[in-house]
Each structure stands twice: as structure tokens, then as C-alpha cells.
A and B are shown apart, each in its own frame.
Chain A
Amino acid sequence: MALNGQDIELHLAIPGGTLNDPQPDPNDSLGGPMASTTVEEVESTVTSAGDEHQFTDNTQTSTSHVGKWLLFVTGVAAMEALRIETHDTGTGKMTFEGEFLTAPQVGDVYRIFNTSSLFEPATAAQAAQGFTSYRLIFVENATGDTLVNFRAYLQPLDRGRVTYRIAMSDEQFIGGAVGVLSDETEEPNLNDADFRQSQRQFWRTPRSFAQAAGSTPFDTSNNLNNNRRIPIWVERTVAPLSQGFEASAWLLILEAASATGGGAGPWRTGIVLTDEITGFTPSLVVSFDRTPRTAGGARMTVTLTDALSGAPIANESVTIELVAPSPGSLAGETGLVTDEAGQVSFVYHAPDDEAEVGTSVQIQASIGGDP
């Protein structure tokens, strides 16, 4: 049969469960049985060949929540990592940027996965101190054929302060207690040398594989047998002092030269591993430059810094409010974005009314939250 990427399935691990239990939360993918639930979220079939492919999701109404994606593409066409380029919230159509290694063909099926679901965004504290965590995913060959020269490797797309390593494990990790992590920070029972990071250090067979040749997922020629599964550990390391840095993006590539049943090759698919780092632990300070008098005013300054490092945070929108029943008014308080010093400023005008002497004036600033 023809090599069809739809039959290369991606599954999550589910600790403490039974084989093929649903595992809706990738963040719990810490070893154990292979969940039947993939991380699929959107699937679309190519209806016209071309380099632009659109997915439609009418229920998504805001792009602000859909930044980066983990993408798993199935189809005879291979592609690089994609990210949302435009999103028409009216029609729900999303256009992606990225490169198709081969032009999409009519009938190809693509699936998209939420990138932030495999690893939770690193918190500011983790980013400040450095943090290493692990996830386990399974790749299953359901093509009906043997995948020739199957291999997996990592390719950095956007180098940031986050790095990845992968290690293939063996099928003992599926369905039993072997390899189940108590939490994401526990290192899998593998040698450090089992982890590979660069494209040249690709994996073809698990180094720690203990089963006899012929009964392994791989044959003696590094081909992935039909209906066999490969556990792949993904190690993510957030370097210390990473808060405030942009996300990293790495591509976990699964590749096969061809399939024994006559499938055309090479075939390639990828999982984009992107990282959202909570850039800072926000610390907001609202200050008056003077104690306002009636008929007077004050220049207000809001300073946003990282509570951990003390560094100013620029380019953050700040919402200002004169908290009722405070008298007076504000000017220049809308559309404020912090400058390089992490500051915004505006003006408070007190009422020209001596009856207001002694009245409290409260001014509130906020950042974040849902738009």
C-alpha cells in the first residue's frame, strides 16, 4: 500500500491507567500505557493543491489565544513547522506560515496540535532558576508496512533559552510501571548518553533496547516494523535566567525513506516543540509624583518590573482606572504601553472643590487578564 502519513500515529502516555485509556492532557504524559487519545485537535483535508492551506475553526474567536502550535501533519506531503499567520475570526479560517517540503496534494490530511499542551509554559520562577522536565509520546506504525530507515531527530527552528533532547525507549515502557515518572522532573531510567539533541545524532534504534532482535520494533536494518510502537522521551531544559526571552521552537522530525509495501518516500513529519516562557513575575507600582491638592493635579507613573530580576518590562499594555468614588479625573490614561523603562505615565486632575479636602483618591493599574 502507499505510504500514508495518516497511519503514523502519535499517542500520549498515561501513567496509572490502562492501555488505550483516553489521555486528554498531554501534560500528564509521563510514561505508562499508551493512551488512545492523540493530541489531535483540528483536521483538514486538502481540497486544492498549493502552498497555502487553510483550516477552519468557527468556534475560535480570538487570535490572542492561539499563538504557537504543535503541529503534526499527516499526508503524503511533508512540511516544516507552521505557525498561524492570519486568522479570520469571522470565517474561522486560519492561514499558516511555513514551508511545504513537497506541495500538498488533493486528498492530503493535516492535523494540528496545540503546542503548549505537551509542555506547560515555564513559569518565571522556573525560568529564573532553570528547569528540566520530561514527557513521553508514542509513535505507532500503523501503515501495514515496514517503514524503511525510520529515524527521529531534533532540529532547532528558533534557538532560544530552551533546548530539547530526545531518547527512544523500548516497548517495556508501554503498559506497565516501567518508566512511569512520578512527576515531570524525574529523569527517565535511561543513560544520559541515550539522549540525542542534534540532527546528526538521530535515533534509529533505542540504545537501551534489551529485547532480542526480531522481536523489537526495529528489524536488523533499522526499519520500523508494522504495528510496532516507539516510545520517545522528550526532555526540555529551560536555561537559568531565561525569563523575558522569546520562545524557542524545535522540530521533532520522524522520517522514513520509504515503506516496504511500495509507499513513496521519503516521508517526513514533525512535531513542533515550542515554548512559552512566562517572561516575568510582574510587579506593578503606582506612584503619584506629588500629593495632589484640590484644584491641583499629579503626574502618575506606573512602573512594571520583573519581581525576580528587578528588570523593567517593556511593551506591556497597562489599564488604568480611577477607582470609585475617588473624585477627579484622569487624562492620557488610555492605550498605555510600557516603555523601555517599564513605565507609563498619565495625569490625575483633582476637582477644584475644597469640600473634597481629605477625600481619598485611589488609582489602580492592571496588566494581563483576558482582553
Chain B
Amino acid sequence: MASRLYTILQGSPVVAASTVTLLPTGLPGTKGALRRMVHPDSTNFPEIVYYLNPTRTVNFSTDFLPTPITEVVRTLTSSRLVRFEELAEDVIVQEIWEPSGGFSMPLFMFQQLKEYAINPPAFSSTTQTFINWEPRDRTSDVWKVQVLDAAIPSVRMYQSDGGPNDPNVTGTIDTPTDSMDTSPTALLDQPVTVTMRLVEKV
């Protein structure tokens, strides 16, 4: 066997980096803190810290607000109150962003919320996981929720084409062909509603 000589070229890697500075979220239970959602699939879904909190929150204050079903029925001598209590899992919470100063939220935030809504955790009969919802501006509690929808109720179906004829969008969309792109800077001028069902407190 003859000797051999291979020239092995040392590759030079191509490197690029990006640097950002962390912005504040606010401590749980602190006025002004931003709300947060955490998807159990942390590999594919980054946590959502609301760019801004909703202007209205329905059926939730510092805790869920049940709406018991009551009925007053007549008895032979008087009347009685029949009351059916509502548990947390019976409560549907809505977060509503109303246009303030002409816009309700940035399009990218809506797209983040929509992404959670259309990608619920996979069903499991034994180890079901849920999205965690943290209304930090109201309480330090964390709730397991099922996000039912993130929608713009004023239009029957939201479809952002990003073009000049899109009634829901003002400003410029960086990637017009991808409505779920989360980097656009456009602003929504319609109310946005996130509807979620409470499951239990974490």
C-alpha cells in the first residue's frame, strides 16, 4: 500500500448574530403588569406577553366571576330560591381590546393570540395539558384555560391580506403574503376579542 496524502480543507463557518434587550413584563399581581399566556408546547410556541392589556375583561376580576342560575319558585306558603352554582370550568372569560386612539392592538399581537387559538394543546385523555393564562395585572394566580377564539367580531371572518383594501389593517405589513407572520407593524382598528374557558387554577 502506498502512502497517501489528502488535503483536508478546514471549513470556515459563517456566523451571524442578533442582539435584543429584554423589556419588562411586570410582577404577577402588580397593577400595570402585562398579561401572559404560556403554551405547553414550548418548543414551538413562545410565551405571549401582551403588548397591551385588554380594555375590558368579562367574567373575571381578581378571580373568576360566576353567574349562578337562580330561579324563584312559589311554594304553598311562600317562595323559595333555587340556585345552581357555577364552577370555574363553567365560566367563559372574554378579553376585549377596544380601539383606543384609533387602534385596538398591533396586528402582530393579534396573530400571536390567533396562533394560540388555532393551535390548542393536543388532546390526551390522561395527561391533558392546557394553555396557562396569567392576568398579572389582576392577580398572581395562573389559570389553565382553553382558548376558544381570538377574533375580530366586527367582521365575520378575519382574513388579512395585508393589502390596501384590508379594512382591518392600517399601516404597513412587512410580509403581506403571510397573514400569520408575527413581525408586521400594522395596527388593527377594530375591536379584538379573545374568548377562553377557564379550566382550573394552577
- Partner of A66 from the list B6, B22, B48, B181 (CB cut-off 8 Å) is B6
Instruction: Give chain B's interface residue range (CB within 8 Å of chain A).
Output: 35 or more
Tell me which residues across on chain A come within 8 A of B49, comparing CB atoms. Answer: 293, 295-296
Residue A142 is within 8 A (CB to CB) of chain B in the complex:
no
Chain A residue numbers with a CB within 8 Å of B19 are 360-363
Which residue on chain B has the smallest CB distance to residue A294? B25
- Cα(A357)–Cα(B20), bound, Å: 11
**A62 and chain B: residue at smallest CB distance:** B8
Contacting pair B18 A293 (CB below 8 A): no
Cβ-closest chain B residue relative to A353: B22
Which of chain B's residues has its CB closest to A301's CB? Answer: B183
Q: How far is the CA of A167 from the CA of B185 in the complex (A)?
A: 62
Chain A residues with CB under 8 A of B125: none
Contacts A296-B48, A364-B17; is A114 near B7 (CB within 8 Å)? Answer: yes
Chain A proximity mask over B4-32: 1 for CB below 8 Å, otherwise 0? 11111111111111111111111100000
A349, B42: Cβ atoms under 8 Å? yes
The chain B residue sitting closest to A363, CB to CB, is B18
- Cα–Cα distance between A168 and B126 once the two chains are bound (Å): 78
Q: Choose one: B2, B15, B43; the contact of A40 (CB below 8 Å).
A: B2
Stretch at the interface among A202-210, A229-237, A248-256, A281-289: A281-289
Looking at the assembled complex, report how far the CB atom of A100 sits from the nearest CB atom of chain B, in whole angstroms.
21
B186 CB to closest chain A CB, in angstroms? 14
Closest chain B residue to A307 by CB distance? B14
Bound: A114/B45 CA distance, A: 48
Question: Could you tell me the distance in whole angstroms from the C-beta of A36 to the nearest C-beta in chain B?
Answer: 15
Which of the listed residues B4, B10, B11 has the most CB atoms from chain A within 10 Å of its own CB?
B4
List residues of chain A with CB within 8 A of the CB of B144: none
Whether A358 pairs with B44 at a CB distance below 8 angstroms is no
- Which residues, 279 to 338 on A, are CB-close (under 8 Å) to B? 282, 284-299, 302, 319, 323, 327, 331-332
Query: Does B95 count as interface, using CB distance less than 8 angstroms?
Result: no
CB <8 Å contact, B4 and A59: yes
**Chain A residues within 8 Å of B182, by CB:** 289-290, 299
Say yes or no: B15 contacts A284, CB within 8 Å: yes
- B47 close to A (CB within 8 Å): yes
**Alpha-carbon separation in the docked complex, A284 to B46 (Å):** 22
Q: Are A369 and B42 in contact (CB under 8 A)?
A: no
List the A side residues contacting B44 at CB < 8 Å.
Answer: 332, 347
| Contact string against B for A residues 42-81, beta-carbon threshold 8 Å, 1 for contact and 0 otherwise | 1110000000000011011000011000000000000000
A264 interfacial by beta-carbon distance below 8 Å: no
23 CB contacts below 8 A, A to B, read A41-B6, A42-B4, A43-B2, A56-B1, A59-B4, A114-B7, A289-B181, A289-B182, A290-B112, A293-B24, A295-B49, A296-B36, A296-B49, A297-B46, A297-B47, A331-B43, A332-B43, A347-B42, A362-B19, A364-B15, A368-B13, A368-B14, A369-B11
Given contacts A41-B6, A284-B15, 7 further A-B contacts (CB under 8 A): A65-B6, A287-B18, A292-B22, A293-B23, A297-B46, A354-B24, A356-B22
Query: Contact residues of B with A, CB < 8 Å?
Result: 1-2, 4-27, 34, 36, 42-49, 108, 112, 181-183
